[in-house]
Structure 1
Amino acid sequence: MRKSSQFSLLGQRRFGPFFWTQFFGAFNDNVFKTALLTILTYQALSWTSMDVGLLNNLIPGLFILPFVVFSATAGQLADKFEKSRLARCVKVLEIAIMTLAAVGWLTHNLWLLIAAVVGMGIHSTLFGPVKYAYLPQQLHQDELVGGNGIIEMGTFVGILLGEVLGALLVVQKSWGIELVAGGTIAIAIIGWLFSRRIPLTPASDPDLKINWNPVTETIRNLGFSRKNRPVFLAMLGNSWFWFYGAIMLAQFPLYAKNYLHGDHSVFILLLTVFSVGVGTGSLLCERLSGHKVEIGLVPFGSIGLSAFGFNLFLSSQGYTNTAAVDMLGFIAQQGSLRILFDIVMIGLFGGLYIVPLFAVIQTRCDRQHLSRTIAGMNIMNALFMVVAALVALTLLTLGCTIPQIFLATAILNAIVAAYIFSVVPEYLVRFLAWILIHTIHRVSTVNRDRIPEEGAAVLVCNHVSYIDAIVIMGVSPRPIRFVMDHRIFKIPVLAWIFKTAKAIPIAPAKEDPQMMEQAFADIAAALADGDLVCIFPEGKLTSTGDMNEFRGGIRKIVDRTPVPVIPMALRGLWGSLLTRSAGNPFHRSFKRGPLSALALAVGIPVAPEQATPEFLQQQVQELRGDWK
């Protein structure tokens, strides 16, 4: 398994030019949009008589409108055509749009600038499916989380720098407008130059016949995505993040001006700490996930979004300054650091939330339909952001303050998260497994890459504790169906985890022959579906720390469904709280201390004809060694 730093990808042609192409696209989007929002917030009277709060929520809505109209077509184009060529065409379009915007800037024509906002929305709509479908074609699966983290970090750093530069340039005396007009064209040209270095990336479905009707194609696209439930719910979770972010970010200009009583530098500061938070969270994903797609981080991120959204409401209530301040003056005010901390943490947990969801979509989606799936997600994102703009406008019309909007968004996030995790408990189960192996224990793995990324296999492991399955689940790069003793399966609390993980309960033939036969039927069905199945051939927990004799069930499984068998060994769990070792269990746990070390070693796959209980026990014993 590749353990090199995710940043090493930036030096490779398969990733670096593409990264910089998307970086400068995000950068340019935000130089332009932020310059426009800043000039309308702080110099509105010289441009329009329209309500500033309306414009601050309308302009982001117009930017995402093309995602609703053109995403279905963009997804088809990205599946049908070679992706580096599409990227270059999109960058040429960006140059043309920024030229139109330059005319609007120089003539003070607000409607030309709004047309350019829609144009940049079209630009992002066309590039989105290319962006996320490109990565699985060029990166290995164990690089996807790191690659997505770098892309998300780059996107939000681009957003941050673009927002800072746009807000700074446009208010410069005499030449601010001209600098924005010329600068956005120059940035578009730089992005086009990088796009020329993107390597050829073949079309995933070159024979696709394009349906140019956006309505029927959108319906067909979303209908196709719904058939893959894990992917579709990851798409919903992704879209919810953009709903949350759209409401939060749209309030920042007026929050900085009217509530914090700051000038445009305070607005820039809020954007900066939020973007730094998202970038940091995105980069942390690879480290926290251990180079695998770890959906357990999604509930963690969601909890943080609600907790710090709620705390932002409370910290805003504690801010009492009414005098006009600049950035340094704001930082000096009582309560300002708490506000900044809440915003950076919202960004950080947002990064932890969004990156694993992208990786789930990329790894569990049909490769031939990936671009169209991403396009379907973009349609949903756009609809969620349009609804977010309408919700924010409604709340403002009803007289809600901006801190109250933050509170309402945090509460909504908690409700939506509870719904998603009740419908797809796999996220919550993986979260609990992730918590276990990052708090109570410190887990290392040996040769985890021997667990296949796809296809059926049986995993066999020694049975040490009541949490063996949870530890293995937290380490595995993909879901596992566990076969376990029906008595362990029924343990309170753990029973809920095992049921939601689709574990298969089994009983000895003399105790419940019907349950035993049903278990073998369920195992065969799972293997036929290409799943991983894990069994504990000892049939019971060890009471001495030594391995019990492996039973013959494994032969019955592979005789019925010949698949590879992968031996594994847990090391270091013996003597912990949930083992059957002698003595006071709490004393044993305190003696071991927090973050006690344990390991999971994975052996070489064994062909089904060689998978006898005796041979597999020997393999597991050698993997475990003397470390119980």
Structure 2
Amino acid sequence: MQDSAHLLRTRRFLPIFVTQFLGAFNDNLFRTAMVMLVIYGIYQDPEQEATFSAIAGGLFILPFFLLSALAGQLADERDKAKIVRIVKTAEILIMIVGAGGLLLHNVPLLLAALCAMGVHSTFFGPIKYAILPQHLQSDEVLGGTGLVEAGTYIGILAGTLLGGVLVLQRPDGSFHAEFAAVAVLVVAAIGRVSGHFVPAAPPAPDAPPFHFDWHIIRASRTLVSNTLHIPRLFLAIIAISFFWAMGAVLAAQFPPLVKNALGADQTVATLFLATFSVGVAIGSVAVNRLLGGQVSARYSPISALLMGLFVLDLYRRVKGWPAPEAELRDLHAFLAMPNSWMIVVDLLGVAVAGGMFVVPLYAFLTTTVPKSETARTIAANNIVNSGLMVAATLILTAAVQLGVTVADSLLIVAGATVISAWLGWKLHLACD
């Protein structure tokens, strides 16, 4: 097996890798800058801030529910490379609106750009995975998928960090985001340039014709039904969805976990985010080494169980953590606490195991169906993913209202990893 890094030296992979990396980077750069500006520079009322966060989250995920079926059909019917160029051109126009919102401190403009970026991600999402089987050899798809996943998480991390840094405070206490506005436009333009070099990926000449259904609800229902009735795809999609549902719970709990359970400030939350992103990237690349390029779910069950064990150890250490003090600890003070490094290790372990769990499943989705159907398969997966993520967030919200603490919510995640391991094992038995 060749090292998957060799793909980064080829035109059949590097342009799509760079394009998706810049997309993830810019998405999180804009979102973080927007949140920082609105929370610290525009609103000063907790109720307004909470309402804004809820609306923003809903506007971003709504396109995945509504438009994934159309995105999947379009990507399977047309040249994927041409769609990439159209989508990246649209990103420049979206970021013009977003930059205007950042410069003018205009919340409606910011929310409009955020929703439009959700549409952008909805149409680009199926392509970044579905294009790989067309450009890569069968023994390269797993490695390419791992690199895409790793690049996505590094892009998320870098964009989040830069988005926070570029929202600056003036001497009078007000906040401004001129540098962030320029940055999102520059990154969008570079993404359009990289998208220009993605090789053509037209539909297979022998692909069976299908009827393009523009009815959003009917198309979504048909797409999910046609995909989930295949047992192997059902198991893979549900397993991936459980992973992202667990990820949604963890992501939602990071800020309150750091502040309220560990008594630490935003620098520690940044460390947690960085640790998690790097861990997923490591796991995404490492699993390709273990599998030797073969698309297989044989490591998914043990990876899910390892996730659960690391989450349980994290729960144990958080429950035993000293009561928070009046003043939040900064990064230096946090790392000076006993067992603080073990909490970081637990987070890294959860992330590495998570990357090892999910990457082979994405590779399985793109290689187990005809190349003419890969985008629709990924789109069906995105619909189910977003549904379970919303469900997990609602369950978490209800649990908190019933008195479940931040630390105790980690037990929900640990329990879900057992289900994920069982699904991974069923898929391994069915396919390997």
Q: What TM-score does the superposition give when structure 2 sets the normalisation length? A: 0.92
The CA distance in 2 between the partners of 1:319 and 1:35, in whole Å, is 32
The CA distance in 2 between the partners of 1:284 and 1:10, in whole Å, is 16
Partner of 2:275: 273
Over 3 Å counting, the alpha-carbon distance change for 1:216 and 1:426 in structure 2 is closer
The CA distance in 1 between the partners of 2:176 and 2:273, in whole Å, is 20
The CA distance in 1 between the partners of 2:296 and 2:328, in whole Å, is 45
Q: CA deviation at 1:333?
A: 2.1
Q: CA deviation at 1:302?
A: 0.8
Which of 367, 370, 379 pairs up with 1:366? 370
The CA distance in 2 between the partners of 1:400 and 1:38, in whole Å, is 28
Q: CA deviation at 1:172?
A: 4.9
Which of 8, 31, 37 pairs up with 1:10? 8
Partner of 1:381: 385
Pairwise mapping of residues 165-564 of structure 1 onto structure 2 (< 5 A)? Answer: 165-173=162-170, 176-204=176-204, 205=207, 207-320=209-322, 321-322=324-325, 323-418=327-422, 420=423, 425-427=426-428, 479=432
The CA distance in 2 between the partners of 1:416 and 1:9, in whole Å, is 30
- Please give the per-residue CA displacement for 1:201-242, whole angstroms capped at 9, x wherever unaligned: 112459543211111111111121123211221011111111
The CA distance in 1 between the partners of 2:331 and 2:47, in whole Å, is 28
The CA distance in 2 between the partners of 1:210 and 1:426, in whole Å, is 31
Over 3 Å counting, the alpha-carbon distance change for 1:426 and 1:69 in structure 2 is closer
What code does the residue aligned with 1:202 have?
Answer: P
* 1:135 and 2:116 correspond: no
What code does the residue aligned with 1:93 have?
Answer: A
- Please give the per-residue CA displacement for 1:77-101, whole angstroms capped at 9, x wherever unaligned: 1011101110011111111222222
The 10-residue stretch of structure 1 (289-298 or 259-268) with the greater mean CA deviation from structure 2: 259-268
Q: CA deviation at 1:60?
A: 3.5
Partner of 2:83: 86
The structure having more radius of gyration, on CA atoms, is 1
Residues 309, 410 of structure 1: 8 Å contact kept: yes
What code does the residue aligned with 1:425 have?
Answer: K
The CA distance in 2 between the partners of 1:101 and 1:287, in whole Å, is 40
Q: Which runs of 5+ in 1 are unaligned?
A: 431-477, 480-628
The CA distance in 1 between the partners of 2:184 and 2:252, in whole Å, is 22
Partner of 1:33: 31
- Please give the per-residue CA displacement for 1:225-267, whole angstroms capped at 9, x wherever unaligned: 1232112210111111111111111222233333333332222
- Please give the per-residue CA displacement for 1:122-144, whole angstroms capped at 9, x wherever unaligned: 11100011111100000111101
What code does the residue aligned with 1:237 have?
Answer: A
Residues 300, 358 of structure 2: 8 Å contact kept: yes
Partner of 2:65: 68
SS of residue paired to 2:140: helix
Over 3 Å counting, the alpha-carbon distance change for 1:297 and 1:381 in structure 2 is same
Q: CA deviation at 1:44?
A: 7.4
Q: CA deviation at 1:148?
A: 0.6
The CA distance in 2 between the partners of 1:186 and 1:318, in whole Å, is 46
Larger strand percent: 1
SS of residue paired to 2:139: helix
Residues 47, 108 of structure 1: 8 Å contact kept: no
Residues 235, 427 of structure 2: 8 Å contact kept: no
Over 3 Å counting, the alpha-carbon distance change for 1:319 and 1:111 in structure 2 is farther
The CA distance in 2 between the partners of 1:5 and 1:65, in whole Å, is 38
Q: Could you say what the CA RMSD is over the residues aligned between the two structures, in angstroms?
A: 2.2
- Please give the per-residue CA displacement for 1:412-451, whole angstroms capped at 9, x wherever unaligned: 3324543x25xx6352x59xxxxxxxxxxxxxxxxxxxxx
Q: Percent of pairs identical after alignment?
A: 37
Residues 63, 122 of structure 2: 8 Å contact kept: yes
Over 3 Å counting, the alpha-carbon distance change for 1:152 and 1:219 in structure 2 is same
Q: What TM-score does the superposition give when structure 1 sets the normalisation length? A: 0.64
The CA distance in 1 between the partners of 2:229 and 2:288, in whole Å, is 29
Partner of 1:517: none
Residues 228, 365 of structure 1: 8 Å contact kept: no
Residues 68, 122 of structure 2: 8 Å contact kept: yes
Residues 303, 421 of structure 2: 8 Å contact kept: no
SS of residue paired to 1:142: coil
Structure with greater contact order relative to length (CA < 8 Å, sep ≥ 6) = 2
What code does the residue aligned with 1:295 have?
Answer: A
Larger helix percent: 2
Residues 65, 386 of structure 1: 8 Å contact kept: no
The CA distance in 2 between the partners of 1:28 and 1:364, in whole Å, is 32
Over 3 Å counting, the alpha-carbon distance change for 1:197 and 1:416 in structure 2 is closer
Q: CA deviation at 1:273?
A: 0.2
Partner of 1:50: 47
What code does the residue aligned with 2:93 have?
Answer: A
Q: CA deviation at 1:26?
A: 0.5
SS of residue paired to 1:103: helix
Over 3 Å counting, the alpha-carbon distance change for 1:358 and 1:426 in structure 2 is closer
Q: How many residues align?
A: 425
Q: CA deviation at 1:68?
A: 0.5
Q: CA deviation at 1:297?
A: 1.3
The 10-residue stretch of structure 1 (406-415 or 185-194) with the greater mean CA deviation from structure 2: 406-415
What code does the residue aligned with 1:95 have?
Answer: I
- Please give the per-residue CA displacement for 1:46-101, whole angstroms capped at 9, x wherever unaligned: 35542656655653443222111000000011011101110011111111222222
Residues 106, 181 of structure 1: 8 Å contact kept: yes
Q: CA deviation at 1:103?
A: 2.1
Which of 145, 150, 163 pairs up with 1:148? 145
SS of residue paired to 1:141: coil
Q: CA deviation at 1:186?
A: 1.2
The CA distance in 2 between the partners of 1:138 and 1:229, in whole Å, is 27
- Please give the per-residue CA displacement for 1:361-403, whole angstroms capped at 9, x wherever unaligned: 1111122211111111111111111112212222222232221
